[in-house]
Every structure is written in structure tokens, then in C-alpha cells.
Amino acid sequence: MTQHFSIRQIYLKDLSFQAPSGAAIFTREWAPEVKVDMNVTHEDIPGGLTEVVLAISTVAMSSGNGAYAIEVLQAGVFQLSGFSAAERERVLMTKCPTILLPYARETIDTLLMKGRFPALILDPIDFEANYRP
């Protein structure tokens, strides 16, 4: 059987932005400590499709105060066929989040710009190197 992989849809599933210190954060020296967490999940949906969700949470503290908190759930619907169970899992946990990451980066960048915070450059992620079945 021939392997088939296709993207059916890419969409923003959920989004949250908070600036807990409000305007006061802009009156202090900007010395951010940024923490970024990522998680990838997937779920089969009707029609032989699979939804993959890349969750990115970013929290920035500056001078001991909460500057911002962002949570992005970037999702995609993918169709895979002809893969063994192990191959399918690897594609869902590596190739799919690699496709979703640029969309999540752009969303985070846009939110920070609208919140008047400096850009956050997320390092490239090698999902393949981090994959552990």
C-alpha cells in the first residue's frame, strides 16, 4: 500500500493573552525572563482524519513582575494512510507539529506586537530529535 500524507486544514484552536501587570510593566526596566513550554497531542476524528494540536505556553516576567502570558493551541487536520502504527505515530508527533510551528510563531509575534511587547523569537524545534515513542 502506498503511503499518503496530506494537510486538510490548519487553524487556531484556542488563544489566550494576558498582561497581568497592565501599564505598570511599561514603566519598569525591561529585563524579561521568558519560559516557553510546548506539547503535542493528536486525536482521530471521523472520516479517517487526525487532529494534531501544538500547544505553546509562554510566560514572561520582568523585574519580578508578570509581563505577559500567552497560550496558543495551533491545530491541523491531517490525513494519513498506508503507514504502520509506529510510522503513523512518528509522523503525527514530528512532521505535523513541524508544519504547525510557523503558524503558532506568527500568532505569538502578532499578539506581542499588539500588546506592545518586544518580539519573542522562538528557537527552531527539531521534533524528530525530541521524539521518543
pLDDT for 87 beyond 90: yes
Question: Are 79 and 49 within 8 A, CB to CB?
Answer: yes
Does the pTM exceed 0.85?
A: yes
Reported as a single tens digit per residue, the pLDDT across 10-67 is 999 999 999 999 999 999 888 899 999 999 999 999 998 999 999 999 999 998 899 9
